[in-house]
Structure 1
């Protein structure tokens, strides 16, 4: 009968009265005879009396025939184990052995029965659950099967009441109470069922605290102490050594409860009105007014979770919506599941703004997207071709396919999005909001960085919210304001409480809620709602523990089915689609609608418009509470179910967001299913030039693969991911060293697994990485040699590529003879196989290696044929091998063929633009600057060099070095060399491996008149035998030394330099990649011959130089050649030399004046006078 009474009371929401009725021997049969006065005598409140009497009047029809699922004691429904924070009470008799000696066994049995009944009544009176009787001890839970916001305080009250109840029986007890996270639920097995089984440290701690307590004492642990706050008078016992617990535990004895007001009626909670923040709102209004006037603004809004960032943004929107011409609001939401997903918040906003629906066809979505984009730009074809594939929409038939190769392709997407936004702002001002930027993906961060300077003159207010732990560096822009939200004052916090609870709340309770929430509006709002829902009071404790309990209580009140629905939704994420959630639960449409309706009605979730038929947890903390209540095993189960549902039932998500499925399979600890999706996600990101995102995906995949059991499959998966990771890292200058290490690891596995093709792939990527690192490719040579051996003698594209890469690497190491042989063999093998990709790779390496090396005029025709063939192949090949594609075409300039070089640039530019081959972007920009220098257009050259540096910054030292040499050349001809001397010195100091450029310092000293410094530097280099690498920079290095030697008049060293420079006599001086062309090498040979007194040779060289410089349109260098030739003729002094010298001087002076070469003008004036 007692069990029936408890079930019935639970059904009408008054199960807390069960202990009171049991202590007064009241059961269901007695209830109808009780009057209002009787209930008042029992201590029932007016509300409870009225509710109980009304239910008693309906008792015949209300009495349940089946146990209520919400009540754990004696309920037939099995409660699944779950994780939760609860408070455990352990109570044991004092002196039970003495009792058995003083009482007859039958009397003792009756005494113990009354003791157990009294303890049960006490526990149930305070909302606890008696889990077990352990001899003379009682184990009770507070917070299970249903959580209560003040469960810890209720447990302490029960402990004090247990002491009092035992005294009434002339007994004494010890009570220990501990709080913590446990796993609790019903267990079935071996033909029996254990209700409320518990696992964790908390019950053991409660038992040890009980042993510490003296007779009639209640002792509590640290977390319980924090949860109850100042609700009780305590005696601090200090740290205690407890058996079985490693570290000392601080304990407190509970002496008594403080007198506090304790009850009020529950009422539905609503979103509180906006309170406080007047200064912040005024600041935001001011920033909008500036933006609306055409001075775009950005506000970085920082604050801890729950501080009210989103609420402040909403308040601003409400204020602006009341204007005659309110702004257009664009909201982008970052996601913790998509921190490595390319432009996730941007694309989700586009889909939402375009009005995509699940039933829409691809054509319908394209129509909607095009209509949306046209609101900002008139010509959308290129934008559609760029964006549609990123949204998993086909474009080839309507807009044509665009091949995306490297990082610069992403720049085009960002530029178009920025153009569209600025175009949209022409029609109306814009409020652009990016929420939760602490979860921003790298591409979106880059987009914001790209956008910030562009909004400065547009009617756009950008607001970015983020948590303090996230660091931003965007405040360097003058139109950016940083705003940090502080916690609300006590008065403002009280206003929030009152707005949420109305007049029903007492002043004391309002103050305590505000204090507990610590001024965080979210915590204030949620604590108030929880108190109103439960109708209970609580102590003053720290926010995290009490908020967890209050949120879990709200979830428990949903009932088991709706709560499970909330838990599954929490696994999906903060936002979720109803269709996906129903697919996982397997519920019928009607049953699902009922349970989902409970979540909405309780405001656990709200309808969300960012996903079709979507919902979102009202607060992230509610989602966290639901998620954390799941057992780890159940979390894994649900994550796996989510992934399977997405994979099988939502192909568009599987296609567009493979990383989302990978995330869930990873959380499910199913590496075999997660790995393919991480690989797919990485390949998809790399294909869209989102290299950093790709690297993140591949790394996660490798992490999962290492959890696979040892064996061939594990090695195969790791190898595939390492190869993909290495190839992705080699495209990012900041990870070239890591790329090399990754490729070496992949190569080791490939060798062990006997996979020659994979070994070749690893070796090729390692070679590329090591070359771009800028150090001798010793490590990659070893890998390439191994790959060549494993591939065998059979002709194949892989073998051709390995041969060509090995040839280039050996050339860099000085083994020219074998390098040339391997390069020739590579070309032959590729031709034999008919593999155009391999042939291009081999030709590009061959031609690449030729750049900067001597080539006699007799071989010019052969060299042009190789360049022409490579250029023709480029139009058929598109892929990673194009990373070398631009470099060889500078060879046209080395052969004195400006027209050939200009024609190749035109073809490359057209092809790059047509096919979006962004690997050429930097080379083309650098070549533009080089050509401007060659033509003597120095101001334009400087502008173009700056542009090239901006594009090529991703290439690190390479781009910086090229820029440095270009600016050195420009400033030297402008007579401004002193400006770059410190920068040149710092560059050399910071890049010691680029010591080949040190002759430039000697040139600077020589040009600036520091003859002793120049002589010292020249002597040091001469003593080392002018030992500089035989690389592509060698001819430029020798040209610098020739100039210094001429200035110093050192005939002995001039002879040595002449011999080293002579092989270049038919060539122009060139520094790749498209850095500078300094005119004919013959000019420098003529200068050295003049120092040696070899006048006939000097004249021959200068005459050749005049022809080559004129063919190159190298007007500055032609002027220098005429000047140096004139000096040589003047020094020789033969008949007719002086008149020709004067003509050359005049021509050089005229060119210098026309082009703007003050340094040369000064030289001409000083030498002629």
Structure 2
């Protein structure tokens, strides 16, 4: 008899495998239940078990003419339990087929062929049943089997592959028998593939079957044809799920008929003998250890107590995937260099009903048995271990050898005890061995997954718990949260329940899994919200996102991309579905609740459920008891919350699309009819259910309402999502006047939201407002003001002033025609902004002043839903022109007023606008600390709100401030990153200004050539875009850098300073004229032209009426004093006045 686990041949009648110690159960061919060897009837279904006689009898032997060996009518597998409706799920499909059956049919009598085929089918069904698979169809000599339906397991792929290997072995044994008896040889090909299916009833009349439909079964059938005889072929998807338990040979991508893309195929070479069915959710290696510092410290403290002679027992428990195995391994690693003996035992779901399986596994490890050892070698090793520990061989060997199914030599007398007494004495013998091993050095004994322990093994553990305090024993048991230890509390017994990770820990773990690839904030948030702090979920979802991203982009991409809602990883689907399948009929309530949402109000569920209140509460109680739901409050005010987002998603995804739509439609109807307050306050909820329920017209209305409400709350990301959903719903409707009107206002709202989240010049902003303009032109309607304003902003920030300025003028005309004061204020700000960049500073300030006056005359607060920002904040906050015109104090005063107004309005985007220009004015004034403070406040606000354009501008200003305060390298990086982020939003305006700041920073570090190159680029951009407000300063800096590079370049420098003066005077930019005058005065003074220098500087200085304490004016006064003092003989007459 060959062991199905390690494939070791064992003598007939053996109870346990001599290679790996696994129990050699007799599988019932009727119900697939494992029975003890020697049983005559199945203890589960009562079917007659005469396997040994049948196996020994030749097929069709005269004494059993009507009953071929291993094949009776009753031996066919039972049909799967009825499932009320089809559902979607991940399924592992096996297809196996006899090789050469056509040739066989031409050489074998049909009656004999029937016996052969039925024997093959029975052997196949037994292997499938042993691993809880379901035979879906017998297709001639082919067998189609499902693993994961009607009940999923956490390791369905593993079960399928192990069953496939067992089928190959079973057919080989059957072939040997047939060849011996009849000269017939059999071979089989087996294939396994995992993928999504819809599974349920098909057929008509008496021909009803439960079949899986979709590509997955077809791929499995096609893979089978690629396998060599007596081998197992698996797909790459299945291999990923079983890679730890089998070894494979890569067959490469294979083209399969009917499948659009090649399928990567592997041949299974065999099972991994060291794999023992450990907790399947640990698949894929140990997860990074995050957030377990306290637990590690506690376990190490317990270890120290053991070293001091105080034995300890620790039970590590928690839900699947919480990290029990990872924590246990960390402790093993931490104590690895300390003297101790390590023993490891583990329980397995495959041997849950095999007495003392983990104890047998542990003993084999202690004796260091290998599969290729003979019985004599195994006995010798066992004797050596027992002798080393001082245990009497005569008494102990017969007991332990019997447990290990090891034949006793004649020198040992077999036990003569009753079965129960022998079992007890055997447990005591194993316990004595363990205690003896803890005599010289501490014994670290780990038992994993004791929730799968059989009663006898649990009894053995109980004995250990009792004896632990007397020896240096550190026993660590791991179990799932549903395991309840049978031991009463003791001082040496610690029960440690592992909690989920916090949000911060989850984010850190996801980043560790991602490695060098950066997860964008949106995907990091999805990982956090979907995984609920379960480490395995975090790891597998992050890996799944990265793999999907690499399929879409270059393999070297260092930024991960992905959908807003990542798919459930294939590695988790079986485990999640298994939890749902264990619920039985209650699963339907879970599916309905999942359709309602993550948090499910009882009143809504009661209204949509077909169950009466009593049955519904019973079902919900079962879901709470199963820890799939949390309950908050009592019905009817109760709210039920899915414990895991992935459980909710799995329950939802298992529904047929048709059923989902019916559920959503019913929920939408109930909400509309019975829950008016929800309709009013959460229209997005109605929009979602109407969309998924196929109610497109209603969905558009609710999504539009939701988007508008979000705009009013400055929830711009949510608004973007809602308006986008509204547009998607619109696509399902015919184009009518009403739908066009809806789209117009949706596009306006979307443009508004995108302006805040992506910046004024983002491509999406142009698409939204451009589409709105197209809709108006199509129906000969004039453009609404928000469309004009949105388009103006787009072209303004793109620095396309030829298109922006006419739109601003059109806005003003429209406002005056319609007597729309709010629009008129926005129009003045728009004109002021354009004229500022074009160098028309006085006209720009006049428009801003007029807008500010109109705002002050408003009798009520403005409607902030029409435009991205408050017009009063913009007209006051846009204080740059005041500084350039020579009013540095007024610029600050206006900026402070704008910030205060934005705070009163509680409008984040307006506040970001005001903070940005306030920080800019501080930069203009040369106040590095104040600029940094405002910039950092801006960055914090804008980052929190998702205002990417203001984050970018803020970083530029912060970078300049850092350079000025001596942190040049850090500041340069911040400047460059901010400029790059600014352009990433589509913005081109202000780039000449940014480049001049970066040029100054480069020159400050001695790189004058780089600074001059940047100034050349800045000047080119200023002229190309007509963005010239900073042109005087660019000319001045150029002259300064030329003179610093070469003291002989006075002529070139003077020309630059004069050009700066001319442009500044043309623009009326007094502050920049003053800077140019100071530079020219210094140059003339150095040449001895002091009177000319004094006269020029005094003339410009005299134009100022405020700001005398600002750095520029302080420097100017100091320079005047210096020039005056050096101009001897004229000190009294020519003293400057303030």
Task: Name the residue aligned to 1:599.
Answer: 623
Task: Name the residue aligned to 1:481.
Answer: none
The total of aligned residue pairs comes to 810
In 2, Cα distance between equivalents of 1:1025 and 1:228 = 59
Question: What does residue range 513-912 of structure 1 map to in structure 2 within 5 Å?
Answer: 525=480, 552=577, 555-559=580-584, 561-572=585-596, 576-607=600-631, 613-616=638-641, 623=648, 626-639=651-664, 641-642=666-667, 649-650=674-675, 658-659=683-684, 662=687, 674-699=699-724, 701-702=726-727, 720-732=745-757, 736-743=761-768, 745-747=770-772, 749-750=774-775, 753-754=778-779, 756-757=781-782, 761-773=786-798, 775-778=799-802, 780-781=803-804, 805-806=805-806, 822=809, 827=812, 830-848=815-833, 868-873=853-858, 876-879=861-864, 880=867, 882=871, 884-887=874-877, 908=898, 911-912=901-902
Say whether the 8 Å CA contact 1:945–1:966 is kept in structure 2: no
Question: What does residue range 34-53 of structure 1 map to in structure 2 within 5 Å?
Answer: 42-45=40-43
Q: 1:1140 aligns with which of 1112, 1133, 1138?
A: 1133
In 2, Cα distance between equivalents of 1:929 and 1:114 = 85
Say whether the 8 Å CA contact 1:20–1:125 is kept in structure 2: no
Q: What's the CA shift for 1:840?
A: 1.2
Residues 245-267 of structure 1 deviation map (CA, whole Å, 9 limit, x = unaligned): 765886879999999999xxxxx
Question: What does residue range 127-138 of structure 1 map to in structure 2 within 5 Å?
Answer: none
Question: What does residue range 421-460 of structure 1 map to in structure 2 within 5 Å?
Answer: none
Residues 621-650 of structure 1 deviation map (CA, whole Å, 9 limit, x = unaligned): 655654454344444544555555556555
Matched, 1:1069 2:1070: yes
Q: What's the CA shift for 1:19?
A: 5.8
Say whether the 8 Å CA contact 1:174–1:210 is kept in structure 2: no
Q: What's the CA shift for 1:185?
A: 1.8
Q: 1:194 aligns with which of 194, 197, 208?
A: 208
- Greater RCO, 1 or 2 (C-alpha within 8 Å, sep 6+): 1
In 2, Cα distance between equivalents of 1:978 and 1:254 = 61
Paired residue secondary structure (2:862): coil
Say whether the 8 Å CA contact 1:96–1:136 is kept in structure 2: no
Say whether the 8 Å CA contact 2:886–2:1069 is kept in structure 1: yes
Say whether the 8 Å CA contact 2:249–2:268 is kept in structure 1: yes
Q: 1:183 aligns with which of 165, 182, 198?
A: 198
Say whether the 8 Å CA contact 2:956–2:974 is kept in structure 1: no
Paired residue secondary structure (1:594): helix
Say whether the 8 Å CA contact 1:662–1:678 is kept in structure 2: yes
In 1, Cα distance between equivalents of 2:1010 and 2:234 = 78
Paired residue secondary structure (1:767): helix
Matched, 1:914 2:904: yes
Say whether the 8 Å CA contact 2:664–2:692 is kept in structure 1: yes
Paired residue secondary structure (1:495): strand
Paired residue secondary structure (2:791): helix
Say whether the 8 Å CA contact 2:629–2:643 is kept in structure 1: yes
In 2, Cα distance between equivalents of 1:730 and 1:964 = 24
Per the alignment, do residues 1031 and 657 of structure 1 end up closer, same or farther by CA in structure 2, a change over 3 Å counting? same
TM-score (norm 2): 0.53
Per the alignment, do residues 1095 and 580 of structure 1 end up closer, same or farther by CA in structure 2, a change over 3 Å counting? same
Per the alignment, do residues 1124 and 523 of structure 1 end up closer, same or farther by CA in structure 2, a change over 3 Å counting? same
In 2, Cα distance between equivalents of 1:1092 and 1:184 = 94
Per the alignment, do residues 109 and 48 of structure 1 end up closer, same or farther by CA in structure 2, a change over 3 Å counting? closer
Q: What's the CA shift for 1:746?
A: 1.9
Matched, 1:498 2:450: yes
Residues 1083-1131 of structure 1 deviation map (CA, whole Å, 9 limit, x = unaligned): 9999999999999999998777566434555676666666677788899
In 2, Cα distance between equivalents of 1:306 and 1:715 = 51
In 2, Cα distance between equivalents of 1:109 and 1:998 = 87
Report the more deviating stretch, 159-168 or 703-712: 159-168
Say whether the 8 Å CA contact 1:844–1:884 is kept in structure 2: yes
Q: What's the CA shift for 1:835?
A: 1.0
In 2, Cα distance between equivalents of 1:871 and 1:903 = 16
Paired residue secondary structure (1:586): coil
Say whether the 8 Å CA contact 2:886–2:1071 is kept in structure 1: no
Say whether the 8 Å CA contact 1:175–1:218 is kept in structure 2: yes
Residues 575-612 of structure 1 deviation map (CA, whole Å, 9 limit, x = unaligned): 54444444333211122233334434555545467996
Q: What's the CA shift for 1:912?
A: 3.6
In 2, Cα distance between equivalents of 1:935 and 1:225 = 66
Per the alignment, do residues 692 and 994 of structure 1 end up closer, same or farther by CA in structure 2, a change over 3 Å counting? same
Question: What does residue range 970-981 of structure 1 map to in structure 2 within 5 Å?
Answer: none
Per the alignment, do residues 284 and 99 of structure 1 end up closer, same or farther by CA in structure 2, a change over 3 Å counting? closer
In 2, Cα distance between equivalents of 1:906 and 1:1007 = 31
Q: What's the CA shift for 1:836?
A: 0.9
Per the alignment, do residues 1011 and 1061 of structure 1 end up closer, same or farther by CA in structure 2, a change over 3 Å counting? same
Say whether the 8 Å CA contact 2:86–2:200 is kept in structure 1: yes
Residues 372-392 of structure 1 deviation map (CA, whole Å, 9 limit, x = unaligned): xxxxxxxxxxxxxxxxxxxxx
Paired residue secondary structure (1:1139): coil
Q: What's the CA shift for 1:768?
A: 0.9
In 1, Cα distance between equivalents of 2:705 and 2:236 = 46
Say whether the 8 Å CA contact 1:831–1:839 is kept in structure 2: yes
Q: 1:1109 aligns with which of 1090, 1100, 1104?
A: 1104
Say whether the 8 Å CA contact 1:844–1:870 is kept in structure 2: no
In 2, Cα distance between equivalents of 1:758 and 1:1040 = 44
Q: Which runs of 5+ in 1 are unaligned?
A: 1-15, 24-35, 53-70, 263-274, 287-303, 314-490, 511-520, 530-542, 782-804, 809-821, 1072-1077, 1149-1169
Task: Name the residue aligned to 1:85.
Answer: 91
In 2, Cα distance between equivalents of 1:87 and 1:1024 = 63
Paired residue secondary structure (1:85): strand
In 2, Cα distance between equivalents of 1:633 and 1:80 = 11
Paired residue secondary structure (1:868): helix
In 2, Cα distance between equivalents of 1:172 and 1:1128 = 113
In 1, Cα distance between equivalents of 2:786 and 2:806 = 13
Per the alignment, do residues 172 and 621 of structure 1 end up closer, same or farther by CA in structure 2, a change over 3 Å counting? farther
* RMSD (Å) for aligned C-alpha atoms: 7.3
TM-score (norm 1): 0.52
Task: Name the residue aligned to 1:1033.
Answer: 1030
Say whether the 8 Å CA contact 1:90–1:139 is kept in structure 2: yes
Say whether the 8 Å CA contact 1:867–1:889 is kept in structure 2: no
Q: Which runs of 5+ in 2 are unaligned?
A: 1-25, 50-76, 278-288, 301-317, 328-442, 463-475, 485-539, 541-568, 944-948, 1044-1048
Task: Name the residue aligned to 1:294.
Answer: none
Task: Name the residue aligned to 1:470.
Answer: none
Task: Name the residue aligned to 1:955.
Answer: 950
Q: What's the CA shift for 1:922?
A: 5.4
Per the alignment, do residues 1054 and 942 of structure 1 end up closer, same or farther by CA in structure 2, a change over 3 Å counting? closer
In 1, Cα distance between equivalents of 2:236 and 2:1011 = 76
In 1, Cα distance between equivalents of 2:845 and 2:632 = 69
In 1, Cα distance between equivalents of 2:120 and 2:254 = 30
